[in-house]
Amino acid sequence: MKNQWSPGELRRALGANALFGVLSEQELDQLLAHAHIQTYPAGALIFAKDDPGHSLMVVLSGLVKISNFSAEGREAVHALMNPGEVFGEMALLDGKNRSANATAIAETELLVLLRRDFIPFLERNPRVAVRLIEVLCVRLRQTTATVEDGAFLGMAPRIARALLRLAQRYSRAEGAAVHIDLKLSQRELGGLVGLARENVNRQLRAWHHEGLIRTDHGHIIIEDMTALEAIAEEL
């Protein structure tokens, strides 16, 4: 965790972002003049559903979970936000309350842009507005795919697809195996696929006995990627 970010480091962090990469250094500096950094320990709530949506946030370091809870306490995990990614944009644009909870999974640093500063900036920089629409479209497509998986797929393919998506974003090789370098609880994994923790536990144990996966201190290691890919294609 960095104690301080220099202006040049912040410019590079924003410049690498899909939303702000179209901006010049001067435009980035104009945006950063109104931004501030907030730090959250692991497990801290960044904002809750129905909180006022007065800011957009860029992850500088760490990891953020976007989720909601049912009345019975079941969690639906909508997204995991990595360094360089933006969240909070929907409430910022329409001025309404937050539609989900945001929680720091690891110690996290965020660059925070307030609505009162960002909306005028968007009006002066239509290229960023277009990019923001593209970001929203990508997230809508991801949500649609998740809903379709829940409606049309059985338990095993849904969990297999979730593990493959996680491996695509967070993997590192361990010989022939693939180590998912992200520690999620079975409840959180269930939240990603819309299943109870007990169902996820049962499926992971079955795959462990079959030699498809193993676990190590809360991390999942995929031992047979080909077999898991075949399960993911089952209907």
Residue 192: CB atoms within 10 A of its CB come to: 25
Q: Give percent of the chain above pLDDT 70.
A: 98
Neighbour tally for 156: CB within 10 Å: 16
Mean pLDDT of 21-45: 91
For residue 148, pLDDT over 90 is answered with no
Between helix 115-124 and helix 126-152 the angle, nearest 10°, is 110
Q: pTM (2 decimals)?
A: 0.83
pLDDT band at 138, cuts 50/70/90? confident
Burial class (CB in 10 A: 0-12, 13-18, 19+), 51: middle
Model pLDDT for residues 152-168, shown as the tens digit of each residue: 889 999 999 999 999 99
CA distance linking residue 182 with residue 202, whole number of Å: 20
